[in-house]
Chains A and B, each alone.
Chain A
């Protein structure tokens, strides 16, 4: 365990880490050196092995080979417990919080606090830490009552409370609103000012440029390069990651929109909590057109698409698809008529423990060539899966792999592949590129544009304003369930959109003309 080395400036050194899973090598002699007190960005394509490497450092995965050095000492990390003892903390992309417990209970879990009423003895220290780092959160709130941003603060508090020196964050901004993300970056700065070391996994190159001191790029399980952030740029990073130039050039051909495919008239939808989520909303999407919906998440986007997909009852108004009223049509019938749906929450549309092949037939299993009478044609299922895996470049050991084992980007690709291959007349897509690397983002943007060129009507919901603006022919801004204004590709104005997202501006023409409550 001991053997000192003159590497005091290094907080962490990973040398030649190999981690294999059945059919995949997640880490293939990966190296990483992180200096004390720096923010070190870890960059790489989906499935490059970033999360796996960090799980090795945190004791969640046992490496098959390789050395781990922490603060200048060679160590063996058997479990998260060992990692915590070494001053390492990790915040996973999927937060590891007990939803039904309070913030305090989550923070003290696993610690040798006072036996009786342990959470009470922890209160003053938690409040002090929260104060010091600007982590506002009610210590007695239950986790399920908190927003994603607040939950993340609880995760940070958990690490700080244990005296973390090296904090790993896996895609910390992917679930946050732009405002929350900015706040997080400030908090990280404050932590490094106190001497903490931060390892930060992200797909957003601007964040790397903005916040990190150095950056390591991974590809196919290997570390390709470590650079000083000040001496690199977005283009070089993207190029290193993907192994080719990422141009962010979209092949947006001119398409003359056709007939309206979707018409929504004075739609009213209620949220899970029973509150109005969509209010007297009207919109129209034509064939060969992408209508983008921008807005801070939680302003009715989810309820809107779910209502159109038939997964949520409508409390008022009408949904017309290709001229026919489908307001009361069951979801299965809407699928058959040609409505495709990619929800923002992946697991709403995929079954984690089922294989890639099985997930790929969830929509067309009842029809030939897949379904024949009561049986499935195993060969057709296999061919269907293999075709999609090839055409959409889904990286998976094989078609029998449970889909939950794939990396985030590949899960998303698989979902899009299943929906697009049905060639729907209307495609509802929410957050299509959340968690995806720049290469995959580019691919998926082009796939969506191909759908548009084919003549599909696309309704795109995105929290990422850059994405919404890049893809949309028309962009509507949603605030508290109402459309505040609409822009065409030519009239998009970042400042106005921002004001509308905050509810501070409303286009006079966007006032609902009909259905105003009497």
Chain B
């Protein structure tokens, strides 16, 4: 029997307890992923792949921290992060929608740009603790419950906000006029255009919204999770978001599940290490899970025609055949 399996069995109970106790931490670690994924789901639903997620998130983290630290207001920090993320996304929107540049190239450039600028901008903040912390939100009764209150009701506003956003964005996407428009543009821009929908505007809006969500996700790291600015602190979260978007099958409700699952994996990476489980193994897990989900759901997806938006990564020009 391989060593790690033996170790696993021996520590089964400890592992179980560790996993349960890790749930709040998983939710915290999953929150930036959730913001990012919700944003990327919207961008991709309009037909634009944004691989600049990592760049936008880290820009959100650094600008959010900077604004919160200088103004002394966490709320202003988050707002700034949203604006900066949106502005950053605008670069990608202009390149991929207006100039019709290859979306992969433009997104990758954005990520590199974000990593570079953030490290430059953040130099002066390295090592500073954040003064304006976000306090856990006190929920009457619930927060005071024994155990359950400890585990699930000690989060700050940003966590609850992201959870509320899930049904809101799901409802908007599937049950409203603009949601139908957004999905149509991602599936068949020519059809939307022929009915008078402004394809360019819809795509810009979706990509910028995606950037704002990425910015907020990034700022959660530096304002709530850490809370400090550490160079490169997103540590690949943006890439996990890209995988999560696929894992979520471009659906906001599945994004919630995926984000906490992947967040949990990030947390357990550290907590299970002493129990003999290799962190590298857990590191691979998000990607393995994505592949597994794609494989398991591909048959069903093909039958119900769900999956990647049909026009994902294709630029649209009216006069082009």
Which residues of A are in contact with B by a Cβ distance under 8 Å? 58, 60-62, 79-81, 84, 90, 92, 96-101, 105-106, 108-119, 142, 144, 158, 404-405
Contact = CB atoms under 8 A, between A and B. Distances in A.
A105 B319 contact: no
Contacts of A158: 195
Contacts of A106: 184, 191
Given A60-B319, A99-B187, A110-B181, A144 B305 contact: yes
Contact of A79 (B181, B196, B310): B196
Interface in B83-135: none
Interface string B153-196: 00000000000000000000001111011011001101111111
A97 B195 contact: no
Given A61-B319, A115-B177, A117-B175, A99 B196 contact: no
18 contacts: A58-B194, A60-B194, A60-B318, A79-B193, A80-B193, A96-B195, A99-B305, A100-B306, A101-B183, A101-B187, A106-B184, A109-B191, A109-B192, A113-B177, A114-B177, A115-B178, A118-B180, A144-B305
Contacts of B181: 109-110
B260 to A, nearest CB: 28
Given A110-B181, A116-B176, A405-B321, A100 B310 contact: yes
A345 B145 CA distance: 65
Contacts of B190: 96
Contact of B195 (A110, A116, A118): A110
B180 A105 contact: yes
B8 interface: no
A98 B319 contact: no
A98 B187 contact: yes
Contacts of B191: 96-98, 106, 109
Contact of B187 (A92, A100, A119): A100
A253 to B, nearest CB: 39
A108 B190 CA distance: 15
A98 B305 contact: no
Contacts of B19: none
B305 A100 contact: yes
B294 interface: no
B185 to A, nearest CB: 9
B76 interface: no
A81 B321 CA distance: 19
A84 B192 CA distance: 13
A66 B321 CA distance: 22
Nearest to B175: A117
A105 to B, nearest CB: 5
Closest 7 CB pairs of A and B: A81-B196, A110-B195, A96-B191, A118-B177, A110-B197, A98-B187, A96-B194
Contacts of B176: 115-118
B187 to A, nearest CB: 5
B178 to A, nearest CB: 8
A79 B319 CA distance: 11
B301 to A, nearest CB: 11
Given A142-B305, A405-B321, A101 B180 contact: yes
Nearest to B319: A61
Given A96-B195, A109-B191, 13 more contacts: A79-B318, A99-B305, A100-B306, A101-B180, A105-B184, A106-B184, A106-B191, A108-B180, A109-B181, A109-B184, A109-B192, A117-B175, A405-B321
B222 to A, nearest CB: 36
Given A108-B177, A109-B180, A96 B188 contact: yes
A92 B319 contact: no
A110 to B, nearest CB: 4
A109 B197 contact: yes
Nearest to A107: B195
Nearest to B305: A100
Nearest to B311: A98
B321 A110 contact: no
A340 to B, nearest CB: 27
A60 B321 CA distance: 11
* Residue from A61, A80, A113, A117 whose CB has the most chain B CB atoms within 10 Å: A80
A80 B191 CA distance: 11
B203 to A, nearest CB: 15
Contacts of B319: 60-62
Which of A96, A110, A158 gathers the greatest number of chain B CB atoms within 10 Å? A110
B247 to A, nearest CB: 19
A115 B321 CA distance: 33
Contacts of A117: 175-176
Nearest to A117: B175
A187 to B, nearest CB: 20
A98 B188 contact: yes
Interface string B290-313: 000000000000000110001000
Contacts of B192: 98, 109-110
Nearest to A61: B319
Contacts of B306: 100
A79 B197 CA distance: 10
Contact of B184 (A58, A84, A98, A405): A98
Contacts of B180: 101, 105, 108-109, 118-119
A118 B184 CA distance: 14
A208 B63 CA distance: 67
Nearest to A60: B318
Residue from A81, A98, A119, A158 whose CB has the most chain B CB atoms within 10 Å: A98
A312 B259 CA distance: 41
B311 to A, nearest CB: 10
A111 B194 CA distance: 12
Contacts of B188: 96-99
A109 B176 CA distance: 11
Given A61-B319, A101-B187, A90 B194 contact: yes
Contacts of B197: 109-110
B305 A84 contact: no
A26 to B, nearest CB: 11
